[in-house]
Amino acid sequence: MSALLSTRALSKHFDGLVAVSDVDLDLTVGEVRALIGPNGAGKTTLVGMICGRIAPSSGTVAFDGRDITALPAHKRIGLGMAYTFQITSVFARLSVRENVALAARRRLAGGHVDSAVHEALAQVGLEERAGEEAGNLSYGHQRLLEIAMGLAQAPRLLILDEPTQGLSEGEIARFTGLIGGLRGQTTVLLIEHNMRVVWDVADRVTVLNFGEVLAEGTPQEIHENRAVQAAYLGTEAG
């Protein structure tokens, strides 16, 4: 199995503060990887460096065997990455359909856009809302729209930053099914706080703590890892 994404010694310092330190991360093609860790562990900074939103202080990012450390964000997306924002960042004054169409038009044209939009909206269950202004959707629906925008790009690597935050139980179940359906075709990197979702969908889990990789393994291994329990699950279990 080949690595789709590899980071080597990826680090980020903000004014002397270490946010991410020496992270080596390898994602194989088709896997669903969860990235977990306490708040402030550097998860969003790490994926920010992977997709080009944040310039690393040192280290490299390689995508599909090619060093992309110097590429600007839009070119990385062009290579087949998609990133959905943690803080909902849809185009509030545009229609739901147009939001997804913008994502699809990057690779498609004409009638293909419409069918891709329809498909992505159906996958997240928003097809009824296609004509509405995105800003009028509920918070949970905006999160789903974010995911639909990611899906419409038909990415090789889909990066989801806390996608289930604010979703209802039913929507979370649907989301879990959705990711399950992508398994094998799309590589997924998922930042997630909801442990049930992690155990359900992830092939492997990487735990970040204080900007460093604390542990990595199958959900089962992570579940049983004492260091992780101490750093993270302990507080979670309360």
Partner 1 sequence: MTRQTARILALHGGLLAVLFAAQFVLPAYHHGNLARIMVLASYAIGYNILFGYTGLLSLGHALFFAAGMYAMGLGIQYGGLSPAPAFLAGVVAGALISGALALLALRTTGVAFMIVTLMFAQAGYLTILYFGEYTRGDEGFVIQTAQRMLWGINLSDPVNRYFAAFGLFAISLSLSLWMVRAPFGRVLVAIRENEDRVQMLGYDTYVHKLGAMVVSGTISAAAGAAYGLLFGYAGASFASVQYSIFPLLWVLLGGAGTVLGPFIGTLFMFYLIDLSSGVTTAYMLIAGVVLVALTLFAPQGLAGEVRRRVWRGLP
Q: Of residues 138-157, which lie at the interface with partner 1 (CB under 8 A)? A: 149, 153
Q: Does 73 contact partner 1 by CB under 8 A?
A: yes
Q: Which is nearer to partner 1, 7 or 86 (CB)?
A: 86
**Could you say which of 35, 41, 51, 208 contacts partner 1 (CB under 8 A)?**
51
42: number of Cβ within 10 Å: 23
- Contact window for partner 1 (CB under 8 A) among 3-11, 78-86, 163-171, 205-213: 78-86
Measure the CA–CA gap between 108 and 225, rounded to whole angstroms.
45
User: What tokens appear for 184 in the block?
Assistant: 């094998």
**Does residue 118 bind partner 1 (CB under 8 A)?**
no
What is the C-alpha to C-alpha distance for residues 167 and 41, in angstroms, rounded to an integer?
23
77 binds partner 1 (CB under 8 A): yes
Instruction: Give the nearest distance from C-beta 94 to partner 1 in angstroms.
Output: 6
Q: How far is CA 116 from CA 36, 47, 102, 155, 178, in A?
A: 31, 26, 11, 13, 16
Bridge-based pairing of strands 17-28 and 32-36 is: unpaired
Provide the edge-to-edge strand list for the sheet that holds 58-63.
17-28, 3-14, 58-63, 66-67
At a CB cut-off of 8 Å and minimum separation 6, what does 87 contact? none
Q: Which residue stretch of 63-71, 87-95, 118-126, 213-221 sits at the interface with partner 1 (rule: CB under 8 A)?
A: 87-95
Residue whose CB is less far from partner 1, 20 or 90? 90
Stretch of residues binding partner 1 (CB under 8 A), selected from 26-34, 37-45, 86-94, 166-174: 86-94
Give the binding site for partner 1 (CB under 8 A): 51, 53, 72-75, 77-78, 83, 85, 89-94, 98, 101-103, 105-106, 109, 149, 153
